[in-house]
Structure 1
Amino acid sequence: MKVAVGTVNPVKVNAVKNVFGKLFDNVEVEGRKVGSGVPDQPFGSETIKGAINRAKNAYRTGDYDYGVGIEAGLTDVEGYVLDIQFCAVFDGLDCTTGCGSGFQYPPTVLAEVLTGREVGDVMSELTGIENLGQKMGAIGYLSRGMLDRTQLTEQSVLMAMIPRLNPKLYRQID
């Protein structure tokens, strides 16, 4: 089985390798640089749209069984702004989606992001950790290492695979 991930971020590619490797035998996972079609810092429904676009664009870069797109963004839920990571899995016909846990950023970080800056840049400045998003991620720093970005990404990938693991309960997805 060949899987294309719509990013070259090693954290996201490794998360897909980890999940698909537990679900299937003989899996090859490759990161592909593709566009998301949404702003670099997505808000609301832009986040899931970005994941879907990345999955479809990754799938189309070669001869793959699946394209996987992962996009993190901010979503307002009843006045609470949460960082939520979405995943989409595309097989050429069907797209399934899921998301991981959501969490809040410190007010100073959110204020900077609302002026147009990207979360990753603000968090790297705040922590002094260069390229934080390609390491433990903001979640790793904020949770004091109890959950890192790879684990958070694995959640969203597994959630997007649930309909594919249970085709009789959803619809026939092979």
Structure 2
Amino acid sequence: MESKWCRVAVGSLNPVKVNAVKTVFKMLCEAEVISTSVPSGVPPQPIGLKEIIEGALNRALGAREKTGADYGVGIEAGAIITAVEPLELQAAIIVDSEDKVSIGLSQVFPLPRRWLGMIKKGVELGTIASEATKRKNIGKKLGLIGYLTHGLITRTDLTRNALIMALVPRLNPQLYPELPTVEEVRDKLSRENLIS
């Protein structure tokens, strides 16, 4: 079966994110991938699932609208502060030309507890990690997870996995005949409880 062609806009210039989209979107279509800088609309260091998903949605929608692509992709990493310890994850959101949304999340990993104060003050995790590990621009290379796992899992892996999860409904339309719209997702994000 021949793959259909599509244009995919990534709401980021980060090479890790762009390369992950190029790799993963081959599952759906023969993709021409365009990277573009768009605002996330959330703080530079997102905290909580709401801000992480909102940032990814804003990037996906902004990239699609700016380029007129068939799909917009937004990827946002952030911290989730639990009662036990701070965690980090990535969200990937795909918005198509009909404003239909699919969402995927990466694996979650613990952050050093002593970083919590800086994260709460809004210091970007990439800055904290670069200083702690003495590696510049850690987020554009292996990422913090690459450092912590000694290269076993990299930021590219987390990004790729979040994207694959976001593609699940699009690869199985018979099981997911209805995807939420941008408006529905925004409405749900405006409520307090994202998870029940």
Normalization by structure 1: what TM-score?
0.94
Note the C-alpha offset of 1:171.
1.3
Q: Do 2:144 and 2:155's aligned partners in 1 also have CA atoms closer than 8 Å? A: yes
Note the C-alpha offset of 1:12.
0.5
Of the three residues 162, 168, 171, the one matched with 1:156 is: 162
Q: Using the alignment, how far apart are the partners of 2:93 and 2:24 within structure 1?
A: 14
Check if 1:144 corresponds to 2:128.
Answer: no
> Aligned partner of 1:151: which letter?
D
Partner of residue 190, structure 2: none
Q: Do 1:5 and 1:67's aligned partners in 2 also have CA atoms closer than 8 Å? A: yes
Partner of residue 107, structure 1: 113
Partner of residue 35, structure 2: 31
After TM superposition, the runs of 4+ consecutive aligned structure 1 residues lying more than 6 A away are none
How many matched pairs? 172
Give 3-state SS (helix, strand or coil) of 2:109's partner: coil
Note the C-alpha offset of 1:27.
1.3
> Aligned partner of 1:107: which letter?
R
Normalization by structure 2: what TM-score?
0.83
Partner of residue 47, structure 1: 52
Query: Can you list the C-alpha shifts for 1:43-72, whole angstroms capped at 9, x where unaligned?
Result: 111000110111000000122110000000
Of the three residues 125, 131, 156, the one matched with 1:125 is: 131
Q: Using the alignment, how far apart are the partners of 2:58 and 2:64 within structure 1?
A: 10
Check if 1:13 corresponds to 2:18.
Answer: yes
> Aligned partner of 1:95: which letter?
V
Q: Using the alignment, how far apart are the partners of 1:49 and 1:25 within structure 2?
A: 26
Note the C-alpha offset of 1:99.
0.3
User: Sequence identity, in percent?
Assistant: 45
1:54-93 mapped onto 2 (5 Å cutoff)? 54-92=59-97, 93=99
Cα RMSD over matched residues? 1.3
Note the C-alpha offset of 1:161.
0.7
Give 3-state SS (helix, strand or coil) of 1:60's partner: helix
Unmatched 5+ stretches in structure 2: 1-5, 180-196
Q: Using the alignment, how far apart are the partners of 2:71 and 2:56 within structure 1?
A: 13
- The change in CA–CA distance for 1:170 and 1:25 in structure 2 (over 3 A counts) is closer
Q: Do 1:73 and 1:84's aligned partners in 2 also have CA atoms closer than 8 Å? A: yes
